[in-house]
Amino acid sequence: MPARPAKKQGAIMVEPELTAEQQKKRDNIRKALREVKNLPTLPGIVSKLTRMADDPDTSTDQMGKLISKDHILAAKLLKLVNSAFYGFPQRISSLNSAIILLGFNVIKSLIISASIFELMEEQDVELWEHSLGCAVICNVVAKRLEINDPEEVSTAGLIHDLGKVAIKMELPRESAEVAALVESAEINRFEAEQRVLGLEHAEVGGWLAKSWNLPAKLVEPIRCHHDPASADNEPLVSAIVHFADIMIRGLGYGHGRDIWVPPLQPRAWELLRFKAADIDEILDEVEEKLWDVKGFSLDIKAEAATTATKG
């Protein structure tokens, strides 16, 4: 298959040249994803929250009250806020404190991720653990680089593979084909997606996040997590998610047969400006938190089992 270097400066990935037939297929898939029927829809509460946030008279208390109307969602939100991904030293027990500490954008994206991950937990525990682990590393790296709002970077890590969920739900046949190709050709999932679908999950996730009006700080890292050099506004956050995805795979939190550590983009490495000692210290910090990820995942599974028994 003819190949051309990826269009972005510093990129090391190679994109295959698309034939007319492949291009047509890609267009059809885009169309299918646009006319989605099965994709997770934005929970009604998010549009209400968006309206409230646009109103300067809205108070944190009012927002907290709205979220607490959905008990399950409120509980999940607090569980996420108190998990290792955000690393707050004190336990946050009220929604109001969570809103103040994390800010509206993070709360909004957490509500979305809580809904998406509900599906992920049922469908794909490995992807769930990979995403949680990625969020942990994002948080450690963001704090190390003294980024404003490290919580937003964690959230980007948590939902960076949103596109995989969308592809699996909307295109189950093609998704199975992708999984089979990953195994038979021993390639990364995004390469298999390019071959089967003509586009990959980062692009799908970015598009979906944009259609949900998530902030650019989240949309770009999702869209660019394989190619942070193509990020226009958030290159550093995209580089962090890119690196966290690599590190968590290196630590064995891959996805199904896609065990491969993807290439590190030179531009991302330049932006992070890490030395060997940084890698060691990050590994130190991350290790214990990853036990929490396992614990968190076990808690969720135990809760699901209890609910199923009660139901």
Partner 1 sequence: MVLAKDVEIEGNRVLCGKGTELTPAIIERFQRMDVSHVTVAGRPVPEEGGKTLKEQVHDVEQRFAKVRHIKPLMYLKKRIQQRLIDSRAAGSQKAEDADAGSAGQEAGGDHG
CA–CA distance, 26 with 164 (Å, rounded to integer): 16
Q: Any contact of residue 88 with partner 1 (CB under 8 A)?
A: no
The widest CA-to-CA distance across the chain, in whole angstroms, is: 59
List the beta bridge partners of residue 258. Answer: 255
Report the nearest approach of partner 1 to the CB of residue 280 (Å): 6
Nearer to partner 1, 91 or 173 (CB): 91
List the beta bridge partners of residue 114. Answer: none
**Which of 52-60, 154-162, 173-181, 242-250 is the region at the interface with partner 1 (rule: CB under 8 A)?**
242-250
Rg of the Cα atoms in the chain: 19
- Single out the residue of 38, 125, 233, 252 in contact with partner 1 (rule: CB under 8 A): 252
Report the nearest approach of partner 1 to the CB of residue 236 (Å): 17
- Give the tokens for residue 72: 């399950």
Q: Any contact of residue 34 with partner 1 (CB under 8 A)?
A: no
Report the nearest approach of partner 1 to the CB of residue 109 (Å): 25
Do the beta carbons of residue 205 and residue 161 sit within 8 Å? yes
Size of the site for partner 1 (CB under 8 A): 32
Q: What residue has token string 């970015």? A: 206
- Give the tokens for residue 8: 């972005």
Nearer to partner 1, 43 or 87 (CB): 87
CA–CA distance, 41 with 23 (Å, rounded to integer): 28
**Which of 20-28, 38-46, 171-179, 250-258 is the region at the interface with partner 1 (rule: CB under 8 A)?**
250-258
- Give the tokens for residue 67: 């979220």
- Single out the residue of 125, 298, 304, 307 in contact with partner 1 (rule: CB under 8 A): 298
Length of the chain: 311
Report the nearest approach of partner 1 to the CB of residue 251 (Å): 6
**Phi–psi pair at 30, nearest 5 degrees:** -55, -45
- Single out the residue of 33, 81, 196, 247 in contact with partner 1 (rule: CB under 8 A): 247
Q: Any contact of residue 125 with partner 1 (CB under 8 A)?
A: no
SS (H, E, C) 223-275: HCCCCHHHCCCCHHHHHHHHHHHHHHHHCCCCECCECCCCCCCHHHHHHHCCC
Q: Which amino acid is at 130?
A: H
- Single out the residue of 14, 180, 259, 304 in contact with partner 1 (rule: CB under 8 A): 259
Q: Any contact of residue 93 with partner 1 (CB under 8 A)?
A: yes
Residues 267-296 that bind partner 1 (CB under 8 A): 269, 274, 276, 279-280, 283, 287-288, 291, 294-295
Residues that bind partner 1 (CB under 8 A): 91, 93, 188, 246-247, 249-252, 254, 259-264, 269, 274, 276, 279-280, 283, 287-288, 291, 294-295, 298-299, 301-302, 306
